[in-house]
Every structure is written in structure tokens, then in C-alpha cells.
Amino acid sequence: EVQLVESGGGLVQPGGSLRLSCAASGFSFSTYWMNWVRQAPGEGLVWVSRISSDGTTTAYADSVKGRFTTSRDNAQNTLYLQMTSLRAEDTAVYYCARDDSLAYSGGYYTYFSYWGLGTLVTVSA
């Protein structure tokens, strides 16, 4: 059974840092791209970042570029999100999600078929 379990959330002051983890099990973690998605209280979903299966390629939302870094440890089956210079607007539940893809002649369709339960990050003084 595929499982994704986030941890590391909590209360942090503005300007502070936090590292989130996502422990993966039930699938071959090292062969899948992974993502972070967040949701502020009462708000919609926002894609945050994506990382390739080997960790060499990353992409970020404009709102977190330069402040957040996503990485992974394939030996430990764990995805990370290092968050720095945190702002009140970063307050959200952070989900990790597994990339699945379907090849077609023009490229790949990508979708998130597995999600973790999320971890809450609160940025407040």
C-alpha cells in the first residue's frame, strides 16, 4: 500500500526556517517524481514544488522561489522541503504528492494519484 506521511510542521516566527519531511513507503520511491502542494486555512490548493526522481531537477512556484528548497534522500525514501524566510502567508497545510505520468506522442500527462495527510505550518509571532 502506498503511504506518504508528512512531518515537521509547527509554529515558527516570521523570518524563521522549518524543514518538512515526507516519508514514503509501499512503492519504489526512487523512480517517482514528487511534489509539494499547500493549502492556506479556508483557501484553495497551491502547487509549491516538484523534484525529479534522481533529485537533480526541481521547479518552484514563484511565491516560494529562492526561499524554499525541495530535496530527497532516495536511500531513506524521504522527500524534504526546506523553508526559509518564512512569512505569514506561508501558513498552510503542506501535502506531499506522488507524480504519476502517462506518456503520449507530445510528452507526458502528469497527475497526483497519491497524497499524504498533510502537516500544518503556522507562521506567526
Partner 1 sequence: AIQMTQFPSHLSASVGDRVTITCRASQDIRNDLGWYQQKPGKAPNLLIYATSRLQSGVSSRFSGSGSGTDFTLTISSLQPDDFATYYCLQDYNYPWTFGQGTRVEVQ
The residue ranges that bind partner 1 (CB under 8 A) are 37, 44-47, 50, 59-62, 95, 100, 102, 104, 106, 109-113, 115-118
Residue number with CB closer to partner 1 (32 or 95)? 95
- Closest distance of CB 111 from partner 1, Å: 4
- Closest distance of CB 110 from partner 1, Å: 4
Rg (CA), the chain: 14
* Beta-ladder partners of 63: none
Question: Phi, psi at residue 28, to the nearest 5°?
Answer: -80, 85
- Closest distance of CB 24 from partner 1, Å: 14
Residue number with CB closer to partner 1 (31 or 113)? 113
Residue number with CB closer to partner 1 (78 or 119)? 119
What is the C-alpha to C-alpha distance for residues 90 and 52, in angstroms, rounded to an integer?
Answer: 24
Q: Regarding beta strands 34-39 and 92-104, do their DSSP bridges make them parallel or antiparallel, or are they unpaired?
A: antiparallel
Residue number with CB closer to partner 1 (65 or 87)? 65
The closest of 67, 77, 65, 1 to 32, measured between CA atoms, is: 77
